[in-house]
Structures are given as C-alpha cells and as structure tokens.
Chains A and B, each alone.
Chain A
Amino acid sequence: MTGEGASELLRVEDLKVYFPIKSGLVIDRHVGDVKAVDGVTFDITKGETLGLVGESGCGKTTVGRTILRLYDPTEGRIIFEGNDIARLAQREMRKLRGRMQMVFQDPYSSLNPRQNVGNLIAEPLKIHGIASGDNARRRAEELLDIVGLPKASTARYPHEFSGGQRQRIGLARALALNPDLIVADEPVSALDVSIQAQMVNLLEELQEEFDLTYLFIAHDLAVVRHISDRIAVMYLGRIVEVASADELYASPRHPYTIALLSAVPIPDPEIESSRERILLKGDLPSPANPPPGCRFHTRCPFRQPERCDTEVPELRLLSDGHLAACHYAEEIKAGKITMHDSGEVPAHSA
C-alpha cells in the first residue's frame, strides 16, 4: 500500500518494539518484555521536520533506531516511500540505509577515535561503492566545507575537535550518501547553549539546501518547537499527542503535554514568578509493566474515576491535524474537568 499523499516519505504503523527480559542461569527463560515502543503510528512528509519529544525511557530513541532497523520491530510496519521495510533482510536494508542516516547524541562515542576524519567521512562512500581513493577524499573535504569545518581537518583525529565540531563531523558523515531522511537523536543536547544554536541553524540550512527530511528526537521542548514543523509527544511507549509546533504550544490537549509544557523553565524571571506550574506526582512507571488503560493515569492531574484506568485511549483527531489520546480531551478543554490534587508533588513539609 502506498501513501495517499505523493509527498509522504515515511509512515510508521502500529510499531511495537519489545525487548525480552530473560532469567535463569542455564536456560534463558523468557519472563517478560520491556515494552519500549507499544503501538506507535505517525507519518513524515518529504521535506518536513517531525519532532519527537518525551522524557527518558519513553521510547523515542528506540523508535528512531527501529526506523533504521538498528533494532528489529516486534510488530508493525515501517513504510519508506511506499515499501514496507519492517521485515526486509539486513542485506537489502543496507542498500537502503544510504537514503536514511542517523546523527547521534554523543559526539564523543559516535566517532571512532582511531580513524582520521577523512576516513570517517569517506567510509560510507567506500562501503556503498560510490567513491574511493582520491575521489572519496575530495568528497570528504567538500562535506567538511558544507558543515563549516576547514578542509584540512581530514588528516586530524576526533580528539582534536570540540564537542560542537565533532557533531559537525557526524553530520558530514550522515550527509555523505545524500540521504533523504535523517534521524537526529538528541543532536544538540550534549552541546553548550552557544554551540547548540550554531548546530540548530546548520541543521536548518542543510535541510533547505539538500531537501532533507528530519525526524528530530529530543527532550528539550524549546529547541524542538523551534526546529520542527510538527511535534509528536511520547509517553511510556505510546504517542499521546501530535500537532503542528505552534498549535501544540498554544493549545495542548493531552494532560501530559500540558504538564510537560508547564514544567519547562523559561529564561525570564518575571514570567517564572507568575507562571502556574503543574507538578506531576511520582516517576515514570516501568515499561516492563505499564499501567492498564491510559498509561498516564497514574500521574494524571485530570484523572477521572471511569475509563482512564481500564480503557486504552486511541490517538484521535480533535481538530485539523491535531491528534491526542485522551478520553476527556474535550471536557478538559471546555473546563468541565478541573485539575485535582493528585497533580501535586507529595508534601515536603509538615
């Protein structure tokens, strides 16, 4: 089945990725699963940036890695340009990876310290048989120039570069094969703020120049809002809300999104002092044993006695292009359901 819109690049349907929990000394007994991703559906249009946000452990990185088939999906379909690649053999997949590349979070561990930068960038060209020898080196220099590093860097090693420069090298390597889709997994979160902005701008410039499509995975909502066209919010292995970046901020519909937005500190003391913050109670439940019904009901400040803990809410269309998975989204918006005390942090003073 191909996508209805000709411009759809990727669609993920009901994706599930479970990691088995094993136990036993001699025989590995399968005693359960960590349901890292449990029924995720979204699509990305060509040339767009989809932001995927959520807190640690919500499965956002697993989604990104599974799209590139670095993990095998347990269930579901990954449709890239109309073809389901979820069950593709690794050999077939390798050919396709030239079209989809990844930029990793940690610029220190994602570059081989014993290879010089020229080789690091040229390696994908050699593996895919696109260029070798002098041609590959020239292409590596060209790529370094594109990401704003001196061409002479090819002879240097990763440890000679700062974190921001290393992230540029990682980006040059991802661009080597002219990909269509780049999965960027927290590409700026290891960088200092002044360097972060340089990287965000570079990503945007490259998108325009090379017509790239991004899946931008991050936990920093302000950065995600800046760079994304649309944003999907994940909680405990499921998507709870999808909307355009501005709409999501202006009118969040899922209680988790509302709480998340209210928790982001804003660099303005006047606004900070007058803001009402929703403090969620407790921690993220274990993805090995997620709560029944709506997964957020254990921490939800708007929880109702019915449906929330028994019935899994589906992601449903609330308004044009705005989806949320909450049984009571309409009532909350209309003000018929107000927040109750469970949204507050346990008392810390008598």
Chain B
Amino acid sequence: MALLSVRDLAVQFVTRKATVRAVNGISFDLEAGATLGIVGESGCGKSVSSLAMLGILPKPAGRVTRGEVDFDGVDLLKLPDSQLRQVRGKDIAMIFQDPMTSLNPVLTIGRQITESLRKHLDMSKDEAKKEAVSLLGRVGIPAPEDRIKDFPHQFSGGMRQRVMIAMAISCRPKILIADEPTTALDVTIQAQILDLLKHLVAEENMALILITHDLGVVAGTCERTNVMYAGRFVESATTSSLFARPRHPYTLGLLKSVPRLDAARKEKLEPIGGTPLSMTQDIEGCAFAPRCIYATDKSREETPELARIDSDDHLVACWNPVPDEDLPHVEVVATQAEGRTAR
C-alpha cells in the first residue's frame, strides 16, 4: 500500500467577490522513499494542494471542497487539528521557498530546531541541543556548535535553507514536501541544496515531494513527475519517460519554451501562446484548450481524465496527445566545462 494516497482533492478560495478554484481534483500515490516532482507555473495550484494536505490553508477563505488524503491508513482531512499537529512536522515535514520569512527572526536557530524535537520526540533540553548540533552538521553548516546560538539574519540565503532542511528532517519524517526550495537561491547554491536533498532522501529513506516551476530541477532530482495546469494534473509519468516523450501539449510547450544551456542555439524560442485562464470561472472541457494547437471541439466540451498512454507508468489527460513526429529533437552541444572535471 502506498504511504500517501491522495484522491480527488479539490480546494477553493471563497471570497465575497469570487470563488477561486485553485485545485480541481487531483489524485496521486506516493510510496515510501519515492521522489515525486510536481511542476507547474504560478497559480496552477501546486503549492495550495500541499498546504491543503497538511491542513494549513489560509483561513477562512481556503477550504477543501472534496477529496481524501490517506496517510498510513488515516484520512488527514478528517483529523481534528490536535491530532493533525502530531503528523505535521513529525511524519510529514515541509520546507518553503523563502527561508527568511519562514524562520522566526527573534529566536536563535538552536531554539527553533529544538522546539520540534522537544515537542514531538519528548527530548530533554540537553538532548535536543545535542541533536540540533548534529543536524546542523549533517546539512553542511560549518561549526554547528557556535552557529546554533546565531539568529536567522546572521545566515546567508543558502545557509538559511540548510537550517530549514535541518528543522524539517529533525523528527525523521516519512515525507518531506519541498515547495520551491531553491527558487530564491543562486544556481551554485541551488546545486548544493539539491545535492543535499538527494543525499538525505536516500539516506533516510524519506519520500520527497518537490514542487517547482523549473523543469531542470525535477529532471535531476525526481523519479516521477506530475505536470499541473489550472488545478489538475495533465500528465504523470516517470521523469525519464516524461522528458523523452512528453504527451500532453502543455508539457511539450513548457519544454520547448525554455532555452537549454546545452542545446544548439535556436533562432526563436517557441512560447505557449495566450495566458492561463482565470481560475474564477467554471472551466468547461480541457483548461488548456484555448492555448492548445491540438485542441478540437471535444477538448472544449469534455474534460479529459488522466489515462494510460504508452505504458502503465505514463498517464496523460488529453483527447489528442502529442504525436511522435512532433516530439522535440534537441541537438546537444559539447562543452569542456564538464569533461575537465573528471579526476
């Protein structure tokens, strides 16, 4: 049985003026130790769906309208707050994009790490402190005994994200949800953090849900990738299959619109035309149809469900999947930057 099983989760934000349909029925399973990437552009509902799973949607506007989130045989959506708090931070931990605003600026790093250790694992003050030092060491912070007394502003962005990761893994969670963990960081620091996450997930047998807009980040980190558009998954496949044979026109569009550092330079980029729909309207048919070159009348009338294509592992929600002859062919250019690094 899967560790986490999400079924038909839907989230709305209700205000006096409008109702925003942020998530419109997503389902997925996550096995222990698996790495899942969720990719989509801003406003597609990728962050909101994980907030909903953990019961931390902004109140009172945000509400889960239907669905189940089954974790270890329990539906998290039905748990009372007090019991959900036992799961959150302990079994399922989350790190966010902005490490500055997610740390408390007036408490020392040590105090913030020991808080969850003492609460969830019932450690004494001294035990918790020792554990915190060892955690900071594990995430690659030099001189952890000294740094534990420092405040968040005394750390750089990359170091703060390391602190966040130390906090998240402190109770040995079964699932780590990382929401754009490297978006605010420079590329050399991003490479450090992704490398750290990959190592930790492997060592601890943690499952990882990595939420990002960057296709390059999932390509190097996740075994499986779900592509999200307008609150629904439009494609779900092993990462290698998804990148080799993208079947949803939106996935293909995303891949074609980013310039690749290693590819021969193209004359023009191929953007996806148009802009995403406003999520306040009722969407009839496929939400991507207005921007899609493969759309037919059926696409505009009937909403496609995720269904098997190519193999059992590759699902796509599309009436007219991308045909083989339209798949991109990338001409890779050699660089000496990497060949030289082999020792």
Contact = CB atoms under 8 A, between A and B. Distances in A.
Interface of A: 55-56, 162, 164-165, 192-198, 200-201, 204, 219, 221-223, 225-226, 245-246, 249-252, 257-273, 275-280, 283-284, 332-333, 335, 338-339, 345-350
Interface of B: 41-42, 138-140, 142, 156, 158-159, 186-192, 194-196, 199-200, 203, 213-217, 219-220, 239-240, 243-244, 253-255, 257-262, 265-266, 268-272, 275, 330, 332-338, 340-343
Contacts of A335: 340
Given A251-B335, A268-B243, A277-B195, A201 B271 contact: yes
B271 A194 contact: yes
A200 B265 CA distance: 13
A53 to B, nearest CB: 10
A267 B260 contact: yes
29 contacts: A55-B186, A192-B41, A193-B41, A196-B257, A197-B269, A197-B271, A201-B268, A201-B271, A221-B261, A222-B258, A225-B261, A226-B259, A246-B265, A250-B333, A250-B335, A258-B340, A262-B337, A262-B341, A263-B187, A265-B214, A266-B220, A266-B262, A267-B216, A267-B243, A271-B219, A333-B336, A339-B341, A345-B140, A349-B199
B139 A348 contact: yes
B190 A263 contact: yes
A189 to B, nearest CB: 10
Contacts of A249: 261-262, 333, 335, 337
Nearest to B196: A348
Contacts of A350: 138
A326 to B, nearest CB: 14
7 tightest A-B contacts by CB?
A265-B216, A197-B271, A272-B220, A55-B186, A197-B257, A226-B259, A267-B215
A280 B195 CA distance: 12
Contact of A269 (B139, B188, B219, B332): B219
Given A249-B261, A250-B336, A270 B240 contact: yes
Contacts of A252: 335-337
Contacts of B259: 200, 222-223, 225-226
A279 B195 contact: yes
A260 to B, nearest CB: 6
A276 B266 contact: no
Nearest to A265: B216
Scoring A55, A192, A249, A258 by chain B CB atoms within 10 A of each residue's CB, the highest score goes to: A192
B122 to A, nearest CB: 25
B215 A277 contact: no
Contacts of A245: 265
Scoring A56, A194, A221, A335 by chain B CB atoms within 10 A of each residue's CB, the highest score goes to: A194
Contacts of B341: 258, 262, 276, 278, 339
Contacts of A349: 138, 199, 203
A225 B342 contact: no
Contact of B158 (A165, A200, A223, A283): A283
Contact of B268 (A204, A246, A265): A204
A337 to B, nearest CB: 10
A269 B220 contact: yes
Contact of B220 (A250, A273, A283, A346): A273
B249 to A, nearest CB: 12
A223 B271 CA distance: 13
A222 B244 CA distance: 20
A267 B41 contact: no
Contact of A222 (B139, B199, B243, B261): B261
Contacts of B330: 268
B186 A275 contact: no
